[in-house]
Amino acid sequence: MGERALGIGLGLLTVALWICPIVAAFGSHGWDLKETLMPSETQVSEIKNKVEGLVVEDISEESVTVMNDEVNLTTNEFGIFVELDSPFTVSGKLLNISMKVSCESHDVLLGSGKMRENVVDLPASGTATFYLVGNLTPEGSRHIETFHEGNLPEVSVTGFLVELELYGVNVKVEKEED
């Protein structure tokens, strides 16, 4: 008798766990099927506003400004202070940037660099500053010394990886080398 009652009780509990949330949802929305199953216009517009901040039509080179750069030909290292105007209308975090850089005028690979900071806060439509550090290739070091008097020339990025966190979602953008 006890096992049978337990079996019936567990069966009723299963049915209750399936039905009670549905009844509660209908009850909290005035027993209206459409309101229970479909989001309201306000909820839809809130979602649209949040998603619009993630969509960027065009990111231009004007968004990135090199503030200061340093080259050490003895250690074959370079550093670049970068100012980034965020194209996003929502705040986020810059988790990682890594890239290969080449001399723009001579098309010579200079080396590779990455963001020194672990995380940089990106304000909504604001400006973030961070520092890129990198190592020069032997050829890149010779090129800078020979053609650019030991100064970092105008560079072009030949391959990059950018990792962002927007609304708690990690976004990874990668461009392979040309």
Class of domain 61-175: mainly beta
pLDDT for the residue numbered 171:
84
Mean pLDDT to the nearest integer, 11-29: 88
Range with lowest mean pLDDT among 22-36, 60-74, 92-106: 60-74
Mean pLDDT to the nearest integer, 155-174: 85
**How far is it between the farthest Cα atoms of the chain?**
95
What is the residue extent of each domain of the chain? Answer: 2-38, 61-175
CA distance linking residue 61 with residue 154, whole number of Å = 13
Query: What's CA 102's distance to the chain center, in Å?
Result: 24
pLDDT for the residue numbered 114:
95
Amino acid at 141: S
* Beta bridge mates, 171: 164
| pLDDT surpassing 80 at residue 64 | no
CA distance linking residue 139 with residue 151, whole number of Å = 15
| pLDDT surpassing 70 at residue 56 | no
Amino acid at 157: V
What separation in angstroms does the CA of 131 have from each of 15, 82, 115, 166?
Answer: 59, 6, 6, 21
Instruction: Read off the pLDDT of residues 87-130 as tens digits, 9 standing for 90 and up.
Output: 888 888 999 999 999 998 999 999 999 999 999 999 988 999 99
Name the pLDDT band for 15 (thresholds 50, 70, 90): confident
| pLDDT surpassing 80 at residue 54 | no
- What one-character DSSP code corresponds to residue 162? E
pLDDT for the residue numbered 178:
59
CA distance linking residue 148 with residue 103, whole number of Å = 10
CA distance linking residue 87 with residue 122, whole number of Å = 10
Mean pLDDT to the nearest integer, 153-178: 84
CB neighbours of 96 closer than 8 A, spacing ≥ 6? Answer: 114, 115, 161, 162, 163
| pLDDT surpassing 70 at residue 53 | no
pLDDT for the residue numbered 58:
57
Amino acid at 39: P
Percent of the chain residues past pLDDT 70, beyond the cut: 91
Q: Give the pair of three-digit tokens for residue 137.
A: 């290739």
Question: Which of 99, 119, 120 lies closest to 173, judged by CA?
Answer: 99
Report the SS3 class of residue 46: helix
Mean pLDDT to the nearest integer, 159-173: 86
Q: Give the pair of three-digit tokens for residue 34.
A: 């459409």
Range with lowest mean pLDDT among 25-29, 43-47, 71-75, 163-167: 43-47
Average pLDDT value for the chain: 86
CA distance linking residue 42 with residue 26, whole number of Å = 19
